[in-house]
A and B are shown apart, each in its own frame.
Chain A
Amino acid sequence: MATEYKTIIRDGLWDNNGVLAMLLGMCPSMAMTTSATNGLGMGLATAVVMAASSLLVSAFRSRITQEVRIPVYILIVAAMVTMVDLCMNAWMHELYKVLGLFIALIVSNCLPLARLEAFAAKEPVLPSLTDGLFMGIGFTIALTCIGAVREISGSGTLFADASLLLGPAFKFMEMRLLPADTGMLMMVLPPGGFLVTGLLVVCKRMLDVRAGKAIQMGGAHSAA
């Protein structure tokens, strides 16, 4: 049982990462990653929606018939997104002003829908919740990384305005790494999104290949 959860968590965070392995949800991962803070905020909102909708779909999975499952999934995701949108507008207003426009886009993100269909529709409640949550966290990590690379190379800062997102206590995260006006503007524009996403996918593959080799060598060693 414990190994099953371990696999689910590993899959979500790294092995089967929504952005870096499955290449799903490309629209928010490129549109919302002009800074690490934006990526983090968008990722966290998506993680909440994914965890909640995975939980609900799994709980109702015996009642949802094959024929109407897609509209029901979309309904559930849309309802969760609207609730997140309303709650953020009311109680996290500063963040909402930054992300508000993009929260609604979570509905059109195919990652939640893909996980509902591939996982939550078949598995019990707790593994589904874990899958939704960690897929969401994996998505957050990927978006934050893309955002960080784009922000450092494009604007020379890292986690600018993080205190708006996380509260004044996180002011220390806001860094300026390069002098103002030295960044490559292209990196915060749309082409930068494609470039950085592509580069990070390559990095992940290279790390995987290296890790794969190490495992093989370990196996050979123990066999010998």
Chain B
Amino acid sequence: MKQQSMLTHGMILGAFCLGFGLLLAVTNSLTAQDIAARALEDRQNSLSQVIPDSIHDNNPVTDTVAMKDGQGNEITVYRATKNGNVTGVAYEIFGSGYGGKIKLMLGVDAQGKILGVRVLAHKETPGLGDKIEVKKGDWILRFTGLSLDNPLPDKWKVKKDGGQFDQFAGATITPRGVVRAIREGLDFFAANKAHMMDLNAPKAPMKEEH
């Protein structure tokens, strides 16, 4: 008797799992295409902020190279080309902030000058560290046009550390992390320029981002 009721319960639970599993499968197949399209739009949006439209005639979202950055992260390098020449690249860089990793997108032109930097994701304190977002302040815009020798390497720091970049009142760790990440990002470009600009380098596979 007992055994039978156990079986019944199992069947009931199993039937519900099957039913709702099917329901989820249907929902997933209905939304999958739109979700992929949104992810692509997101990437296009963040790229167009760090690579100006005027310097390319290709679609940087699809012209990519897979690389490993200095910390061993797998990154995708997006390339802007015009008339068959690489005019700029953009890739994700990571800084360590007060609340964990800060993810940024860095755009660099062929001469190693910064085209633009934007914060993609962070967990910094709202009201203090979040001024790195372009929505909350123009601090991040000051990096545009700078390069490894402008300012000189020992000035690539926040003012508190003897450098030339402003920290925020009440938040030094966040801008320090961002300045350092950008500097390392430029180092990475300098060290890997040839591979990044090589038009024959193997393309990165398109991957889904969640």
Other-chain contact of A91, B12, B34, B127 (Cβ < 8 Å): B34
Q: Is A130 an interface residue (CB 8 A)?
A: no
Question: Chain A's nearest CB lies how many Å from the CB of B79?
Answer: 26
* Cβ–Cβ contact A68 & B13, under 8 A: yes
* Cβ–Cβ contact A75 & B17, under 8 A: yes
Q: List the B side residues contacting A75 at CB < 8 Å.
A: 16-17, 20
Binds A, one of B21-29, B110-118, B185-193: B21-29
Q: List the A side residues contacting B38 at CB < 8 Å.
A: 89-90, 93
* Cβ–Cβ contact A189 & B126, under 8 A: yes
A202 to B127, CA, bound (A): 28
A188 to B38, CA, bound (A): 30
Specify the chain B residue showing the minimal Cβ separation from A67: B9
Q: Is A195 an interface residue (CB 8 A)?
A: no
Q: List the B side residues contacting A86 at CB < 8 Å.
A: 27-28, 31, 35
Q: Is B8 an interface residue (CB 8 A)?
A: yes
Q: List the B side residues contacting A65 at CB < 8 Å.
A: 8-9, 12
* Cβ–Cβ contact A71 & B13, under 8 A: yes
Q: Is A82 an interface residue (CB 8 A)?
A: yes
A83 to B27, CA, bound (A): 6
Q: Is A166 an interface residue (CB 8 A)?
A: no
Of residues 9 to 52 in A, which have CB atoms within 8 Å of B's CB atoms? 34
Question: Chain B's nearest CB lies how many Å from the CB of A54?
Answer: 15
Q: Is B125 an interface residue (CB 8 A)?
A: yes
Q: How many residues of B contact A (CB 8 A)?
A: 23
Q: List the B side residues contacting A93 at CB < 8 Å.
A: 38, 41-42
Q: Is B206 an interface residue (CB 8 A)?
A: no
Q: Is A76 an interface residue (CB 8 A)?
A: yes
Of residues 185 to 219 in A, which have CB atoms within 8 Å of B's CB atoms? 185, 188-189
Question: Chain A's nearest CB lies how many Å from the CB of B35?
Answer: 5
Question: Chain A's nearest CB lies how many Å from the CB of B114?
Answer: 25
Interface residues of B (CB under 8 A from A): 5, 8-9, 12-13, 16-17, 20, 23-24, 27-28, 30-31, 34-35, 38, 41-42, 125-128
Closest 6 CB pairs of A and B: A90-B34, A90-B31, A79-B20, A86-B31, A93-B38, A185-B127
Q: Would you mind naming 27 contact pairs between A and B with Cβ atoms under 8 Å apart?
A: A34-B126, A60-B16, A65-B8, A65-B9, A65-B12, A67-B5, A68-B13, A72-B16, A75-B16, A75-B17, A76-B20, A79-B20, A79-B24, A82-B24, A83-B23, A83-B24, A83-B27, A87-B31, A90-B35, A93-B42, A97-B42, A154-B127, A183-B127, A185-B126, A185-B127, A185-B128, A188-B126
